[in-house]
Chain A
Amino acid sequence: MADTIATDNPFTTEEQRTLLALVGALIPPSAEFGTPGADDPVIAADILATARPYHATVASALTQIESAAAKRYDTPYPDLDAATRASIASDLSRSRFAGVGTLVTITAQCYYRDDRVMRSLGMAPRSPYPDGFDIPQGDWSLLEPVRQRGRIYKEV
């Protein structure tokens, strides 16, 4: 994940700036829940590394975002306030522009596997395997009414 970030990052400095501004607007930090924003350096590095194979799609989404910012506010996207940035992203996502969907997906993937975020949700920061999880058996006596009703399949 984050440690896989390589120096051959295909994103230009401009693209990285727009991308950081976007992901920070999508998921901002929260003092209440003690969680970082998606533009936190560790999470952002993970997002950049994960987005690398999708560079063309992501770059075209970033271009769309910049042009929406220029058209509506005549301002570079990173210079807009967080609420405006979030609303531009939201509008583009609703218009089902594929690149924005990809970016939202990558952001969620990287954000919700960060140790700090997982802990804030009460999860142990680990992979599911090998320890697995416990779930309760539940109350099998709930089947009683189903048994009492009897056969429902059709004889042929």
Chain B
Amino acid sequence: MATILGIESTCDETGASVVVDGYDVRSNVVASQVELHAKYRGVVPEIASRAHIENILPVIRESLGQAGRALANVDAIAVAHRPGLIGSLLIGVTAAKTLAWSLGKPLIGIDHVQAHLYSVMLEKNELPPLPAVGLVVSGGHTSLYRVNDWTDIHRLGGTIDDAVGEAYDKVSAILGLGYPGGPIIDKLAAEGDPNAVHFPRTLLGRESLDFSFSGLKTSVLYHVRGVPGKHHKSGVELNEQSRRDIAAGFQAACVDVIVKKLDRAVRKTRSRSVIVGGGVSANRGLRAALKEFRFPVLFPPMPYCTDNAAMSAGLADVLLRAGRTAPLDLDAITYSALT
């Protein structure tokens, strides 16, 4: 029975969590910096690393306090050391290495993308039918994976331009709405008519497992501001109803593309289930559409969709049992190990 302290600082969230046996989440603390970033439309690295420095020790202390554990009773320290923004990653990695060294406990380096896939195991401890197709969708990621088991994961495809979360953020900006765009558009879409405006679905050919959301973003822009050129068509007036309908039409296009790609990936890899992780996995439109999928679709419990440390502490249990600990000179790396 292993108790693992996990640390997360890959992007704009500072998180710490205590997880027992890879699924039993005793605490999951996230110091959200969203308010800070909303002013600046997104992740600003200088602000992010400064905030991580200020947050990291209080967040670790709080997670231990909530779990009722002293540092001495933790069996290992896990940290998401890739992929992410370098300045942000370094704060978590440095904290984790210092703790592991001073306590004489094993250090475990976690790939954040792999942890997003593992997040479906948290609380439920229910292994999906494997092999599975994994989808990680967030502000920075839109990728498909084949998951043979938690340590044997291969990338099948990904976005060739914008990540889906980024498209949500940019559409939110086009509609004159706030950041992050995901929850705002999801909420508006639920009140709009998805058939009022038709936006294109980019599938990149019959067999491709890659994504493209740039054209969809541009279509929304042209719909709102008008189509430039000699066949000039003026835009639409933005009001409550038109915003709802655009949001619904945009979300329907995103969801359609994701469902089609998942279907393709399952067929191509002869998989038995689908795992969805990352911030966009909280999207209600996507969850509703995948309810009728022909294979079981597993989503993480809501608190583990967005960036958190519990998924890293959970996956670390698997790696610890496999003897895959990290040296104390563990590096922060900007890209994922999954290829």
Co-complex (A, B) = no
Residues of B with Cβ closer than 8 Å to A? Answer: none
Residues of A with Cβ closer than 8 Å to B? Answer: none
